[in-house]
A and B are shown apart, each in its own frame.
Chain A
Amino acid sequence: MKLDPKIPSGPLQQKWERYRLEMKLVNPANKRKFDVIVVGSGLAGASAAASLAELGYNVKCFCFHDSPRRAHSIAAQGGINAAKNYQNDGDSIYRLFYDTIKGGDFRAREANVYRLAQVSVNIIDQCVAQGVPFAREYGGALANRSFGGAQVSRTFYARGQTGQQLLIGAYQALQRQVGLGRCQMLPMTEMLDLVVIDGQARGIVTRNLATGEIASHAADAVVLATGGYGNVFYLSTNAKTCNVTATFRAFKRGAAFANPCYTQIHPTCIPVSGDYQSKLTLMSESLRNDGRVWVPKSKEDTRPPNQIPEADRDYYLERKYPSYGNLAPRDIASRAAKEVCDEGRGVGPGGKGVYLDFAHAIGRLGEKEIRERYGNLFEMYERITGEDGYKTPMRIYPAVHYTMGGTWVDYNLMSTLDGLFVIGEANFSDHGANRLGASALMQGLADGYFVLPNTLGNYFASSKQSKISHSHSEFRKTEDEVKARLQRLLSIRGRRTVNSFHRELGKLMWDKCGMARNEKGLSEALQRIPALRQEFWENVNVLGEGGELNQSLEHAGRLADFLEFAELLCLDALTRAESCGGHFREEFQTEDGEALRSDERFAFVSAWEYQGPDTRPVLHKEPLVYEEVKMTQRSYK
């Protein structure tokens, strides 16, 4: 396998423009001769499917949800970044680029990130034109807020429902194409495998979740926009059904998987309250604009928060990172919270929490203003915890939130498999070892609206695809494999539920491969995962039939993939003997406990190639060459 990132030549600032000029185009009349499969209807998938259908391609879009509008993107709260510099506070494309590279701890590809910053401005234009009701100033101009890892105010938002509004915009654009007959939408249809013919991705095999029907779909290119794999930890802020199946199936069919160990733990989530817990809820990072994070100075201090005087409080983020304060990047804020809790100064049940306090902001701005800014978040907090965040500080704790790793893609967003493109959270491309807040929405829409529609055309115009139909024998073969696997899951009839296995896997991953990792723990996880996997295949109990809606069967299939993928994640974490961004190896830290990178040994992207069942995958390295910025030790002090 050869990793060629295909970065265009020329100065960083001109790469994308020049490359677009050089691209080959598909003649408008010919576009409808190309069939494109888009799997996923989140921000990345919906924006791509809509834009490709508008261009005239023959698009089929799939999602396992009952409607494309329910993709996990809907849950994004805080906002979307763009280098508009509407606040006149010194922002620019270059600054957004630099913040993103630095935020990613110098583990992202320069050219991709620069392009992302460039198209960020078009995204806002597009969304406004579609009717996304972004927050406004009284004068009618667009409003902005600040997010972690930046000293400028460049985040656009729609109350605490930015993802919802952006997704509704993309969903409506997609539905318009469906109504016009230019795109076929197949909801409740889950991709269970990728079909590769003569080295090219040529289609997928799906299961209709309502009827159980297994079907094949052929195309000239396949696009995966299937989101992240955070649920390998069981508890995360992701929606319950988020999973790794599509990209992991692609991995098994030859698409290299990059940087699986780069996982993001979000600092501001509602703490776990019991064993029955089914998911964790994020409190948007935007809260850190006005909320101050603290714990008592002394671990013996058990007074209620309102009775602890200022002098006995430790605003540890402000103390340790005076220039960024409460807006330190996520990885740093999360580890700092873990540190104070490990010292025994955590608050709430089990000592696994820190305060997020709005008393000062309410004093400064009034409760009304805070209510206007974050009302729905406060309501959500109260609904879940039964506590009133206006009166008593919220309690928060870090939780798994986002995955920077994903399918390896080149500058064209094509994987190592010819004809397989991967966009949105599913790919590894732009966030390096840590994603900054409000940048995932930006990346998903950049990929879908502005990058893929260009690069896919170039692919069609410059390579040869023979026409293949879904009656090709490779489709039959893959269908048979898919059916056999489902049948196997249904026939075990063991003694444990799917959920109990998922919970156990999640706990193992959180303990051994969570916020802090070390060689011993990772080696132990690598021993225990195969054993758990074996037990799963012998002892899981999936009731019901395959020919109708069967939620346990769906879950079992996804978990089976997580049980293999978890091993890849731990292997990557073990191999990367350095700390960077969200990947913190306890053995590699500076004297004051910050992540210690090793640029000499690890300035590369890890891309893993599948070698067959129970065989160690092979590591390929894409060196990270920085032409524009200098790699420095990240400092937010």
Chain B
Amino acid sequence: MNVTLRVWRQKNSKTPGRFVEYQAKNIIPDMSFLEMLDVVNEDLIARGEEPIAFDSDCREGICGKCSAVVNGVPHGGHRGTTVCQLHMRHFKDGDRIVIEPWRATAFPVIKDLVVDRSAFDRIIQASGFISVSTGQAPEANSISIPRVVAERAMDAAACIGCGACVAACKNASAMLFVAAKNAHLGLLPQGQAERYRRAFTLVKAMDEAGFGSCTNTNSCEAVCPKEISVEFIARLNRDYAVALLRGSGREAASSAD
């Protein structure tokens, strides 16, 4: 099949970008979306044009590197699917496909479809962890965790840090990403000691990184390739409120460690 692509091309963060149209010919339905782009790129190089820069690595939906807004929807709008796992069998001959980068102030474009997502790392650096150093761990089975709790924590921990939630949000909020981390660690007994302080610091780091605030439109959940639930956002709000009540916020804000 043949499709027409409108792709965002942008040389670097300083140069303004624009859409450029390309024809993708002889596309096989079993190809993945990124394999289709590979084919287009091989063509472009043969014609002496620079290939489209786009991110990908595992191509299995787990590393979180691929990121493209396809026809207005981050990752292309198939439930629980990253764009690397999207296949051309979902498109028809003659389709027009618009491909853009994640758009958010906190994720500046590096080139074409590639954006800088280091803001997520800065959030984790602030408090997205349990403070335990190598060698300090007790025997693993001395911490008993009910299966339902472990599974719930795993639901949150499944986040791949791709940033689709931010790209989908009209406020470019990172609330789902932050809430998932907060729930992953805060649901587990190991994470209780720092629970409220963590919630407070995570939200603070998110604000500082330039993400917008959450107005509960739930568009993040709809595009999340790991189907992370907005219920975790409610949990984060509760933890954050407790932190404020208990003054954990002040404690967190004043301590460096």
Contact = CB atoms under 8 A, between A and B. Distances in A.
Interface stretch (B54-62, B206-214, B243-251): B54-62
A379 B45 contact: no
A161 B76 CA distance: 23
Contacts of B147: 136-138, 140
B68 to A, nearest CB: 14
Contacts of B190: 128-131
Given A66-B55, A240-B56, A500 B161 contact: no
B50 interface: yes
Interface in A273-312: 273-274, 276-279, 281-282
A124 interface: yes
Interface in A46-73: 47, 50-51, 54, 65-70, 72
Contact of A499 (B42, B158, B257): B42
Contacts of B87: 383-384, 386
A185 B125 CA distance: 11
A133 B132 contact: no
B128 interface: yes
B64 A69 contact: yes
Interface stretch (B93-101, B114-122, B230-238): B114-122
Interface string B18-58: 00000000001011101100110010011011110101111
B235 to A, nearest CB: 16
Contacts of A541: 45
B60 A276 contact: no
Contacts of B150: 133-136
B134 A380 contact: no
Contacts of B184: 131, 133
A172 B128 contact: yes
Task: Give the dominant DSSP class at B's interface.
Answer: loop
A122 interface: yes
A279 B127 CA distance: 36
A168 B157 contact: yes
Contacts of A384: 32, 85, 87
Contact of A165 (B39, B59, B65, B157): B157
Contacts of A131: 129-130, 153, 184-185, 188, 190-191
Contacts of A548: 11-12, 111
Given A50-B134, A276-B28, A497-B46, A133 B153 contact: yes
Given A130-B129, A131-B130, A549-B110, A164 B62 contact: yes
B242 interface: no
A499 B57 CA distance: 15
Interface string A134-156: 11111111100000000000000
B136 interface: yes
Interface stretch (A173-181, A328-336, A410-418, A478-486): A173-181
A66 B116 contact: yes
A449 B136 CA distance: 12
A278 B54 CA distance: 14
Nearest to A450: B134
B81 interface: yes
Contact-size category for A: 35 or more
A571 interface: no
B53 A551 contact: yes
Given A176-B129, A277-B35, A125 B121 contact: no
A454 B118 CA distance: 32
Interface in A227-246: 239-241
Interface in B73-98: 80-81, 85, 87, 89
A164 B136 contact: no
A155 to B, nearest CB: 14
B217 to A, nearest CB: 26
Nearest to B34: A278
B160 interface: yes
Contact of A161 (B11, B49, B110, B158): B158
A81 B117 CA distance: 33
A490 to B, nearest CB: 12
Contacts of B134: 47, 50-51, 54, 126, 173, 449-450, 453
A551 B28 CA distance: 25
Contacts of A168: 157
A178 B42 CA distance: 39
Interface of A: 47, 50-51, 54, 65-70, 72, 74-75, 84, 86, 122, 124-131, 133-142, 158-159, 161, 164-165, 168, 171-173, 175-176, 178-180, 185, 187, 210, 239-241, 273-274, 276-279, 281-282, 379-380, 383-384, 386, 449-450, 453, 497, 499-500, 541, 543-544, 548-549, 551-552
8 closest A-B pairs by CB: A140-B144, A179-B125, A129-B137, A172-B129, A125-B137, A51-B134, A133-B154, A239-B57
Given A131-B185, A278-B32, A383-B87, 5 more contacts: A66-B117, A125-B140, A136-B145, A239-B58, A276-B35
